[in-house]
Amino acid sequence: MSTHVLILGGTTEARALATALADRPACRVTTSLAGRVTSPARIDGELRTGGFGGAAGLAAWLREQQVDVLIDATHPFAAMISAHAAEAAAHCAVPVLALRRPGWSAGPGDVWHDVRSLPEAAALLPELGRRVFLTTGRQGLAAFAGLAGHFLVRSVEPPEPPLPARTEVLLARGPFTVADELELLRTHRIDVLVTKDSGGAATAAKLVAARELSVPVVVVRRPPVPAGVPSVPDVSGVLAWLDGSADHGR
* 125 half-sphere exposure, CB direction, 13 A CA radius: 29
CA–CA distance, 111 with 218 (Å, rounded to integer): 9
Q: Which residues contact 223 (CB under 8 A, 6 or more apart)?
A: 76, 77, 79
Residue type, 80: M
pTM for this model (two decimals) = 0.88
Helix (H) or strand (E) holding 157: none
Question: To the nearest whole number, what is the mean pLDDT of the chain?
Answer: 94
Which tens digit of pLDDT belongs to each residue from 119-148? 999 999 999 999 999 999 998 999 999 999
User: Which pLDDT score, from 0 to 100, does residue 34 have?
Assistant: 87
Element at 225 (helix H, strand E) = none
In the structure, what pLDDT confidence band is assigned to residue 231 with cuts at 50, 70 and 90?
Answer: very high
The pLDDT of residue 87: 98
pLDDT for res 223: 95
The predicted pLDDT at position 201 comes to 86
pLDDT at 134: 97
Residue 2 pLDDT: 87
The pLDDT of 20-27, averaged and rounded, is: 92
The answer to whether 142 and 162 have CB atoms below 8 angstroms apart is yes
In degrees, to the nearest 5, what angle opens at C-alpha 30 toward C-alphas 158 and 49?
30
Residue 188, classed as helix, strand or coil, is coil
pLDDT-derived band at 35, boundaries 50, 70, 90: confident
Model confidence pLDDT, tens digit, residues 73-114: 999 999 999 999 999 999 999 999 999 999 999 999 999 999
Q: List, in sequence order, every beta strand (DSSP E) within the chain.
A: 3-8, 27-33, 46-49, 69-72, 96-99, 112-115, 131-135, 150-155, 167-171, 192-196, 217-220, 231-232
pLDDT of residue 7: 98
Contact 235, 20 (CB under 8 A): yes
Q: Give yes or no for residue 36 having a pLDDT over 80.
A: no
Question: Which domains can be identified in the chain, with CATH numbers?
Answer: 3-102+224-244 (3.40.50.720), 112-220 (3.40.50)
Assign 39 a pLDDT band (cuts: 50, 70, 90): low
